[in-house]
Structures are given as structure tokens and as C-alpha cells.
Amino acid sequence: MKYVCPLIVVNDIEISRRFYEEVLNQQVKYDYGENVTFEGDFAIHLKSHYQGLIGNKEIIPYSNGFELYFEHDDLEIIIERLKAEGVVFVHEIIEQPWKQRVLRFYDPDGHLIEVGESLQFLSFRLSCEGFSVEKICGIINMPEAFVNHSIGMFS
């Protein structure tokens, strides 16, 4: 068996496609009409079509039981873009216990989306804040080689 991708159900393919392409900068990989797969290997599927495939079972928006996770190292730019779109935030930028900065919001159909800074950028940011490589390794639970390489990527 081969795992392929997560698929989320949307009310309007065009609205959701525009959101993921224009707001979150995702590129379409395949367009099957009622099903669109993006380069990040997740798909959106038209609710009216999908519901028929599952025997008209209920689809519950805003269930918070699943999220799509993206990374971007300048979260302030993302916040501005999302506010301009009028998205509903679960929360704006917060710091996780491992110091990674993230934000969470809903897409047009109530699917939970998280955008966090990459662990590579986090390593660099923490080093700029005066944390030693050893301390960073302990905070983010990554090996020293990863942390050193990550810091070098942004230096």
C-alpha cells in the first residue's frame, strides 16, 4: 500500500483553489475538475461530488480534528496577507513550547491551517537570540549537525 496525500472537502473548488494558489502560494499539480491536487501533495475535492462517493454522510466544517501544515519564515508577511483576505484566525503568532513561532487559521471551508517557521530558521533565530548550539539542540530536539547546518543556511 502506498500513501498518496490528504484530501480535504470544499464547498466551491474555485474559491478554495484561489485561496490556496493566491493566498498560500501553492502550485497546482493536477486538475481533475472536482478534484485538484497541489504540488505539496494535498488535494481539495468538491463537496457535492465527494459526498455522493461516501453515501451522503455528513461533512462537518470547523471540526479542528485535522490541520494542513505549511512553513514560511516570515510570519508577519503571512499575517498581513491573511488579514487582507479576512480569514478567521484560531490564533495569530504564538510561540510553541519548543520556541517555534506559528499561527493557525481556517481556510474558506473551515479547515484548520497552521503556518510555522521552519526548524532551520528557528535554529538560526535562536542562535541570534544568544542560545548556544547545545541549548538549541535541547530545545528543538534536533541533532547538532542539523542545528549547525541550519544556522549556516541563514548566516
- pLDDT 10s digits, 75-118: 999 999 999 999 999 999 999 999 999 999 999 999 999 999 99
Q: Could you tell me if 133 and 151 are in contact, meaning their C-beta atoms sit under 8 angstroms apart?
A: yes
Q: What is the reported pLDDT for 12?
A: 97
Pairing between β-strand 35-38 and β-strand 28-31 as defined by DSSP bridges: antiparallel
Q: Angle at Cα 119 formed by Cα 74 and Cα 75, nearest 5°? A: 15
Q: How confident is the model at residue 151 (pLDDT cuts 50, 70, 90)?
A: very high
Pairing between β-strand 28-31 and β-strand 7-10 as defined by DSSP bridges: unpaired
**pTM of this prediction exceeds 0.85:** yes
Burial code (b: 16+ CB inside 10 Å, e: under 16) for 144-154 equals eeebeebbeee
Q: What is the reported pLDDT for 113?
A: 97
Domains and CATH numbers, the chain: 1-54 (3.10.180.10)
Q: What is the reported pLDDT for 123?
A: 98
Task: Write out pLDDT tens, residues 34-84.
Answer: 999 999 999 999 999 999 999 999 999 999 999 999 999 999 999 999 999
Across 118-136, average pLDDT: 98
